[in-house]
Structure 1
Amino acid sequence: MPVILKLLTAVLFTLLSLSAFGEKLRIVTEPWAPYVYEDQGTMRGLDFETTVAVFQRLGVEVEWQFLPWKRCLAMLDQGHADGALDIFHSPDRDALLLYPSEPLSDVEFVLFYANNRPHPVETLDDLRGLTIGTSPGYLYGDAFSESSLFSREPAPSHEANFGKLSLGRIDLLITDRRVGQHVIKALGLEGEVSQAPLVVSRQQQFLAVRRGAGMDLLVQRFAAELKRFKQEPAYATLSAKYGGIQAITASEHTVEQQESGAP
């Protein structure tokens, strides 16, 4: 039997097995707008809608659940979830998770500060003695995570971090550029918060699943279909809808249009 036929047969058996028992893939994620979020009871976002489209083409039903990111990771560890949306690759997770070869999107972690307490940092050394708001379970890169120059203070949500920044309880916060701009707009903080020039790290986001029978083949099919979908007009439409984010520059508080399209 040709290799490709064996692959397709194994995937088919996996999907039929799920269907026979009325099972769905249980995918967990944290609201991470504009990549994935809930809007008036409806789940939306560039990576969410892309993943839904790909799974529909593969004939896979998915049960979605929003949780704090640290809880998402615990659900994966305990076997209570089959996968996670918008997770970064980490060698520490390779024994548990399978990652498609094709990422969903790219993340650029930057710092935000309150305009009435400016900290336009350009290097990590500029953070010396400061307190930086973080999110539990997120990977910001070794240089940031292992530095002893500054303190890190977690918050339960991105909105909570921006609230603490506005109240002066932290000096800066770190989050993805697009996410930060989305929260600033949602909270009405335009003109009150700016982005510092420093890009702390860049990482790719994936839809990863727990290792198990047939999952390696499902991941391969997901990657192939995702790559195909990204070449189509439907993905270009999603990118235009969620990709164009305006970023407030750190030095002049002017608006700069970020490149629209795939992250």
Structure 2
Amino acid sequence: MPIILKLATAALFTCLSLAAYGEKLRIVTEPWAPYVYEEHGSMQGLDYETTVIVFQRLGVEVQWQFLPWKRCLAMLDQGQADGALDIFHSHERDALLLYPSEPLSEVEFVLFYANERPHPAQSLEALRGLTVGTSPGYLYGTEFSDSTLFNREAAPSHEANFGKLMLGRIDLLITDRRVGQHVIKTLGLEGKVSQAPTVVSRQQQYLAVRRGAGMDLLVQRFAAELKRFKQEPAYTALSAKYGGIQAITGSGRTVEQQESSAR
């Protein structure tokens, strides 16, 4: 049997097995605008809408749930969720999770500081003795995570981190560049917060699922359909809608999208 037919058949059996038990694929994620978030009671975002389209094409129904990221990881560990959206690849998770060969997008972790207390750090060395706000369960790269030069202080949400920054309870915070820009706009902090020039790390984001019967073939089908969708005008339009977030191919090649003036 040709390999393409085998993959299609296996993916079909996976979908049928879920349907037979009246189940949907349970996917958890944390609000991570503009990649995935909820506004006016509706879920949206580049990676969310892309994933919805891909699963629709594969005939897979999905049940979505927003939770703090640490809780998302716990649900995966405990088998209470089938997968997670916008998760970074970690070798420590390979025994539990399967990752498609095609990532959804790429994030750039950068530092933000309050203009009233400027810390335009150009390297991690410049953070010596300072306190940096983080988010529980996030992977910022080994250089940042293993450094003993500065202190790290977690907050329950990105908005909370920016609140602590404005109150002077932390010196800087670390988050994705586009996420930070979105939160600054949402909280009305334009002109009050600036981004430091250094990029701490870059990470590719995936839709990963727990290992199980048929899941390895499902992620292969997901990767193939995702790669195909990225080449379509519909994806270009979707990317422009959310500010031209870069799409990363499986080979690591960046597909540049124009920044939209709408965001």
Whether TM exceeds 0.5 here: the answer is yes
Match of 1:211 in 2: 211
CA apart distance, 1:37: 0.2
Bigger mean CA deviation after superposition, 236-245 or 166-175: 236-245
- Kept after mapping to 1: 8 A contact 2:7/2:221: no
CA-to-aligned-CA distance 1:159-178 (integer Å, 9 cap, x gap): 00000000000000000000
CA apart distance, 1:259: 4.6
CA apart distance, 1:95: 0.3
Match of 1:253 in 2: none
CA apart distance, 1:105: 0.3
RMSD of equivalent CA atoms: 1.2
Residue 122 of structure 2 aligns to a residue whose secondary structure is coil
Residue 243 of structure 1 aligns to a residue whose secondary structure is coil
Amino acid at match of 1:49: E
Say whether 1:35 aligns with 2:16: no
Match of 1:222 in 2: 222
- After TM superposition, the runs of 4+ consecutive aligned structure 1 residues lying more than 3 A away are none
Match of 1:24 in 2: 24
Amino acid at match of 1:214: G
Residue 129 of structure 1 aligns to a residue whose secondary structure is coil
Amino acid at match of 1:260: E
For 2:244 and 2:190, the matched residues in 1 are separated by: 17
For 2:159 and 2:218, the matched residues in 1 are separated by: 35
Structure 2 unmatched runs, 5+ = 246-256
- Kept after mapping to 1: 8 A contact 2:68/2:156: yes
For 2:203 and 2:128, the matched residues in 1 are separated by: 24
CA apart distance, 1:5: 2.1
Say whether 1:81 aligns with 2:81: yes
For 1:136 and 1:41, the matched residues in 2 are separated by: 25
For 2:110 and 2:4, the matched residues in 1 are separated by: 43
CA-to-aligned-CA distance 1:144-172 (integer Å, 9 cap, x gap): 00000000000000000000000000000
Match of 1:105 in 2: 105
Say whether 1:119 aligns with 2:124: no
Match of 2:64 in 1: 64
Residue 87 of structure 1 aligns to a residue whose secondary structure is strand
CA apart distance, 1:11: 1.4
Q: Identity of paired residues, percent?
A: 84
CA apart distance, 1:199: 0.4
Say whether 1:153 aligns with 2:153: yes
Amino acid at match of 1:93: R
Match of 1:132 in 2: 132
Amino acid at match of 1:130: L
Match of 1:260 in 2: 259
For 2:10 and 2:61, the matched residues in 1 are separated by: 17
Bigger mean CA deviation after superposition, 12-21 or 221-230: 12-21
Structure 1 unmatched runs, 5+ = 246-257
CA-to-aligned-CA distance 1:177-206 (integer Å, 9 cap, x gap): 000000000000000000000100001000
Q: How does 1:179-258 map to 2 (within 5 A)?
A: 179-244=179-244
Match of 1:91 in 2: 91
For 2:104 and 2:196, the matched residues in 1 are separated by: 26
Match of 1:252 in 2: none
Amino acid at match of 1:242: Y
**CA gap 1:226/1:244 in 2 versus in 1, 3 angstroms:** closer
CA-to-aligned-CA distance 1:69-117 (integer Å, 9 cap, x gap): 0000000000000000000000000000000000000000000000000
CA apart distance, 1:244: 4.1
CA apart distance, 1:6: 2.1
For 2:124 and 2:108, the matched residues in 1 are separated by: 16
Length-normalised TM-score, structure 1? 0.93
Say whether 1:163 aligns with 2:163: yes
For 2:84 and 2:120, the matched residues in 1 are separated by: 34
Length-normalised TM-score, structure 2? 0.93
